[in-house]
Structure 1
């Protein structure tokens, strides 16, 4: 897990250091984030972990890979999410053609409950990543779907929430990403040192005010799930 944080920070530095280029070129050159939600048959959960870890190792070995993180949903042992960061769109496209990915999909197909849900994302706001998460760390992934007219306002609200979150005890990570082609859909990943630290964050006035304000803007359920790291 420590490797993921180091690479995530490196990705942030890399992005900030981009030269001034055209918007179209910038879209191709900026890092690509991917969230892949996986649900397997309950009896195949442990087999899925072996398969997911092997695929993560193969992906990390690719030239354009920046980071791969595996998470397992707490209380739903057969549901997982894979977070990937690729150097740019070309690196992601090359990954899609790699033979190991097709082999992984074939193995997963035999044990899945439903096809993986893959979201291609671009980073909107990355908070600083804290080091040395313990075995008690929890990871919170929230899919935020708002009505299209609120997309710009909500992107600002999520950034503000992140800026408040980094000040809290137990903070590890807060990253806001936006789905490519669906700018009113956001994925937020948070890391907290413990479930207690996350519960304290949820009880804060700033968090509750955010939830109150965003509620009438939502286009679907505020989908928040809690995970533990697999590596």
Structure 2
């Protein structure tokens, strides 16, 4: 049976690169976002990682039960506040890659 795009799981990989000297502040706001976002409906995974090979770079893995859950998450106050708060901390704007699991 085909999967409806609106109800299929969504995987995302945002990447954040801190300005020099702003690494710990970026880590704090990412940790707060992680805590708040894990409570959002449809959140299956929301974990921030420090890139050990590139200090000051943080990678997030998000998994949402559906596109609708992701859209609802993106409208939350904690997400909107994060997007504004993080801008002055970043060397470059953050990127978001949509991922698709490989199937056998």
Q: How far apart, in 2, do the equivalents of 1:203 and 1:225 lie?
A: 19
Of structures 1 and 2, the one with the larger relative CO (CA 8 A, separation 6+) is 2
Instruction: State how 1:1-231 maps to structure 2 within 5 Å.
Output: 136-231=8-103
Question: Match of 1:7?
Answer: none
TM-score w.r.t. the length of structure 1 is: 0.40
Q: Is the partner of 1:163 in helix, strand or coil?
A: helix
Q: Contact 1:148 / 1:183 at 8 angstroms: preserved in 2?
A: no
* Backbone CA RMSD of aligned residues: 1.4
* Partners of 2:11 and 2:98 within 8 A in 1: yes
| Contact 1:137-1:194 within 8 A present in 2 as well | yes
> Which ranges in structure 2 are unaligned for 5 or more consecutive residues?
1-6
1:191, CA displacement in angstroms?
0.5
Equivalents in 2 of 1:167, 1:177: separation in Å?
A: 18
Unaligned runs of 5+ in 1: 1-134
TM-score by length of 2: 0.86
Q: Which has the larger radius of gyration?
A: 1
Distance (Å, rounded) in 1 between the aligned partners of 2:72 and 2:97? 16
Q: Which structure features the higher share of helix residues?
A: 1
Task: Please say which of residues 180-189 and 154-163 is displaced more in the overlay.
Answer: 180-189
